[in-house]
Copies of this chain bind each other. A is one copy, B any other.
Amino acid sequence: MSKERLYLFDTTLRDGAQTRGVDFSVEDKRNIALALDRLGVDYVEGGWPGANPTDSAFFAAPPALSRARVTAFGMTRRPGRSADNDPGLAGLTGTTAPAICIVGKTWDFQVDVALEIPRSENIDIIGESIAHLRSKGREAMLDAEHFFDGYKANPAYALDCLRAAHGAGADWVVLCDTNGGTLPHEVSRIVSTVVDAIPGIRLGIHAHNDTDNAVANSLAAVLAGARQVQGTLNGLGERCGNANLVSLIGTFCLKPDFADRFETGISEKALAHLTPTSRLLDEILNRSPNKHAPYVGQAAFAHKGGLHVSAVLKNPKTYEHVPPEAVGNERQVLISDQAGKSNILARLRDVDIELDPKDSRIDRLLEEVKEREFQGYSYDGADASFELMARRVLGQVPDYFFVDSFKVLVERRYNARRELVTVSEAIVRVQVDGHRMLSVGEGNGPVNALDAALRQDLGKYQSYIDDLELVDFKVRILQLGNGTAQSEAPVSVDRWQAGTGAVTRVLIESADKAGNRWSTVGVSANIVEASFQALADAIVFKLYRDGAPAGTGPAE
């Protein structure tokens, strides 16, 4: 049985660009458009030519896409103008965009209040604007603004607006849930009604996530007869975002009820670029990717708990709704305090340590992990510390340098100008190959000062760490109890002061010029000590990975 074609329309560069804090450059837009084209999206809405210099520049020299159609966004003609004589429409047809999408009103209330023209005139505007685009040889689409609210208020009028577009030759009529308040069961019902009421109309859906249902609304519309789906990468968009095209693509391509019935422009091979494409947008926006994003999040296929993990490894479909590699993602096995042997083995494999399951050192490693997790360490976000810990147990990490002692001073006082200042200084005594060195550093806080001192002079290792950068620093206060149990009551100040209560976990992320990134962890009741551990691990990990020679040991 041949499949029906389902068209994907990306509006990351137009509606997504409306998001507060998002400010694409022309180059950003070109890069995103090219990535969407490689993925196999059918339409890439680049912006609104004439609305701002970036969008005009984008359409003046659109990227050469291999299959996706660059789409320009605009409005229906103004009241009182002919379509031929409308500057807005002329701006659109003046571009080379093969497809043009114009927004028009379909809610009687909006026509009365916002446009303040007779309702019949609005219908004429829609029809004439679409006809004009068609006459210029463009693929013509109507974005029916507020369609669902309009339909609920006055179904006959809302349908008449769609009929005007369809009658004028619109290639697509896109039903927009502009406020995002429509629920899936309503979308199902209303789209079905439109399909029945206007035979031959080709419908699209444009959903927003204000009730957390943008993806479900899009799916409901497709099942009811829509064949074009508009959305954005990662659900970018104002307020609560647009429909997340990444989630939709996963479902359209991998879920039998859709994949067996519909065909999109996305090949199996391109689908494996879904995760990198999603991450690219975050990279351009300089955001941390959402770890919990469906299909493409770092945690989307993460498994925790020993029993569970051995079940996953035995038969992934037990706990994974789709194979992670299909979307270019990967399974993650977490080390947790329920860590089983199979967790450890899987986790070692992740950091390229292959051990025979019968190797007796695995039990020692497991003990070490449990002991450390009991102390408050968490290796979930600290791969480099995990790898170092494992390789140390396996005797693979040489000694490089020794920190004999450190001292950190934080002082708040009035300076000579009677200004209140807080200063931080650190002194580190370190040995490299038996040579003792004294380093000092200052910073805006104790950890910062310690980091500066530690990296001021590491002798023969200095060249290895010159390009090391700290890119993130996180602190978490844990409340661990005495003995084997976690605390059973609020931690009183006595316990807090006695050092048996709160423990600090520090996570540090480091990077180097080659683009490597690694994370390390430190735990102590003392935040400075915890930070020191994570800083030292960050340096040792780089020395190990870059093959620095071993040191000769301490002088005494």
Contacts and interface: CB of A to CB of B under 8 A. Distances in A.
Contact of A181 (B322, B412, B498): B322
Contacts of A405: 411-414
A526 B445 contact: yes
Contact of A486 (B57, B301, B407, B477): B57
A23 B483 CA distance: 14
Interface string A167-193: 000000000001111011110000000
A529 interface: yes
A422 B504 CA distance: 14
A306 to B, nearest CB: 13
Interface in A234-248: 235, 238-241, 244, 247-248
A473 interface: yes
B240 A23 contact: no
A484 to B, nearest CB: 7
B475 A477 contact: yes
B18 A304 contact: yes
A342 interface: no
Contacts of A411: 405-408
B486 A240 contact: no
A215 interface: yes
A378 interface: yes
B485 A53 contact: yes
Interface in A264-319: 286-288, 291-295, 297, 299-302, 304-305, 311, 314-315, 318-319
A392 to B, nearest CB: 17
Given A215-B212, A492-B469, A492-B471, A487 B527 contact: no
Which residue among A109, A248, A315, A502 has the maximum number of chain B CB atoms within 10 Å of its CB? Answer: A502
A488 B502 CA distance: 27
A52 B471 CA distance: 34
Contact of A410 (B19, B21, B378, B407): B407
A485 B54 CA distance: 8
A370 B452 CA distance: 33
Most-contacted residue by chain B among A178, A184, A241, A378 (CB, 10 A)? A184
A447 interface: yes
B381 A321 contact: no
A507 B394 CA distance: 41
Interface string A322-338: 10000000000010010
A380 B487 CA distance: 24
A444 B251 CA distance: 47
A470 interface: yes
A219 interface: yes
Contacts of A186: 257
A1 interface: no
Given A20-B291, A21-B378, A445-B524, 4 more contacts: A114-B311, A184-B216, A288-B489, A443-B499
Closest A-B pairs by Cβ, 5 of them: A181-B321, A216-B216, A444-B499, A212-B247, A444-B525
Interface of A: 18-21, 23, 25-27, 52-54, 57, 60-61, 109-110, 113-114, 146, 178-181, 183-186, 209-213, 215-217, 219-220, 223, 235, 238-241, 244, 247-248, 250-251, 255, 257, 286-288, 291-295, 297, 299-302, 304-305, 311, 314-315, 318-322, 334, 337, 378, 380-381, 403-414, 422, 424, 443-448, 451-452, 468-479, 481, 484-493, 496-499, 502, 504, 509, 511, 524-529, 532
22 contacts: A25-B478, A25-B486, A61-B488, A186-B257, A210-B300, A210-B321, A212-B215, A212-B216, A213-B215, A239-B302, A240-B294, A240-B299, A286-B489, A407-B411, A408-B409, A410-B528, A446-B527, A448-B497, A452-B497, A474-B477, A475-B475, A475-B476
